[in-house]
Amino acid sequence: MARTTISSLTKMKADGEKIASVTAYDSSFARVFADCGMDFMLIGDSLGMTLQGEDSTVPVSVADVAYHTRGVRKGAPEAFVMADMPFMSYSTVEDACLNAAELMRAGANMVKLEGGDWLLDTIKALQQRGVPVCAHLGLLPQSVNVLGGYKVQGREQGQAESTVRQALALEEAGAQMLVLECVPTELAKLITEKLHIPTIGIGAGPYTDGQILVMHDMLGITSDYMPKFVKNYMQDAGDIQTAMRNYIAEVKSGEFPQPEHCFA
């Protein structure tokens, strides 16, 4: 299998081939996911909740993400690996450059930042310095205290129009991928059609260029709360490898997500 790059992911969008991705946090799972044919993996700051037992992503540090990025890279040396930049690690352009460098040195191929217009200069600076950037719009987990909880974003017309405008601005600034989280299906469809870069959805409907899920959610490990947009792939699988292959196949075929996993 050819090594996945941002160029090959962009070509997948152009060719209409769906992109399958999942969070990963250590070498063992990363090896399994790579062997199953996962297109890319994200070391998500979701590790704060899934691994550390926190109630949000806010306590996660750059050192935490770098530690887990090294593990994932060791387990999947040929994989395309994206690393989340944690809360307040990119509040200034200088901070963003220094912290992104740490994650790239740990093995990331790309970093992900949450936010819109205020990040334009930061994305330009990172791109100019050789750091590929994935932007993130919709529900922003690092901003949950401002948003007042984990709520669907973009249902009101003004908010939807703002999201479309910001997506275009982020692409123009140099973002090479965009995650859309918990937005209405039709809004995600519109943004995906307008952008040249791949869109990756989580709770954003079937029309994004790809899908991503938190591994603990899709394996049924999460015990206290299962988001609407999650499907438990272990229910019909005898092992993790089968669950992952089924997930990848359903993303590629368009079978996942179904309407019950989406927001109107």
Q: Is the pLDDT at 148 greater than 90, yes or no?
A: no
Give the CATH architecture of domain 6-261. Answer: Alpha-Beta Barrel (3.20)
Q: What is the mean pLDDT of residues 191-214?
A: 98
Cα–Cα separations (whole angstroms), residue 215 to 30, 93, 160, 181, 226? 11, 31, 29, 16, 12
Q: What angle do CA 46, 138, 79 make, to 5 degrees?
A: 50
Kindly report, residue by residue over 67-96, the tens digit of the pLDDT.
999 999 999 999 999 999 999 999 999 999
pLDDT at residue 151, rounded to an integer: 79
Known binding-site positions for Mg(2+): 45, 84, 114
- The confidence score (pLDDT) of residue 218 equals 96
Whole-number mean pLDDT of the chain? Answer: 95
Q: Find the mean pLDDT for residues 155-160.
A: 94
Backbone angles phi, psi at 23, to 5 degrees: -75, 150
What would the mean pLDDT of 143-159 be, rounded to a whole number?
Answer: 79
- Report, as an integer, the average pLDDT of 2-24: 95
Residues found in the chain: 264
150 — pLDDT class (breaks 50, 70, 90): low
Using CA atoms, how far apart are residues 116 and 241, in angstroms rounded to an integer?
36
When pLDDT is averaged across residues 36-45 and rounded to a whole number, the result is 98
Report how far residue 34's alpha carbon sits from residue 75's, in angstroms, rounded to the nearest whole number: 9
Give 120's contacts (C-beta < 8 A, 6+ positions apart). 169, 170, 173
- Going by pLDDT thresholds of 50, 70 and 90, the confidence category of residue 26 is very high
Band (pLDDT 50/70/90 cuts) for residue 149 is: low
The binding site for 3-methyl-2-oxobutanoate consists of 45-46, 84, 112
**Residues with catalytic function:** 181
The pLDDT score that the predictor gives to residue 216 is 95
Average pLDDT rounded to a whole number, residues 165-179: 98
pTM assigned to the model: 0.96
Residues 6+ apart with CB under 8 A from 237: 243, 246
Q: What is the pLDDT of residue 146?
A: 65
Binned at pLDDT 50, 70 and 90, residue 225 comes out as confident
242: exposed, middle or buried (Cβ count in 10 Å: 0-12, 13-18, 19+): middle
Q: Are 60 and 52 in contact (CB under 8 A)?
A: yes
CB 233 within 8 A of CB 217: no
Q: Sorting pLDDT into bands at 50, 70 and 90, what band is 211?
A: very high
Q: What is the DSSP string of 88-120?
A: TTTSSHHHHHHHHHHHHHHT-SEEEEEBSGGGH
Q: 94-143 pLDDT, tens per residue? A: 999 999 999 999 999 999 999 999 999 999 999 999 999 999 999 988 88
- β-sheet bridge partners, residue 27: none
Q: Given this model, what pLDDT does residue 147 score?
A: 58
- Determine the pLDDT at residue 124: 98
Contacts of 51 (CB under 8 A, 6+ apart): 25, 68
pLDDT given for residue 186 in this prediction: 97
Pairing label, strands 40-43, 81-84: parallel
Domains of the chain, by residue range, sit at 6-261
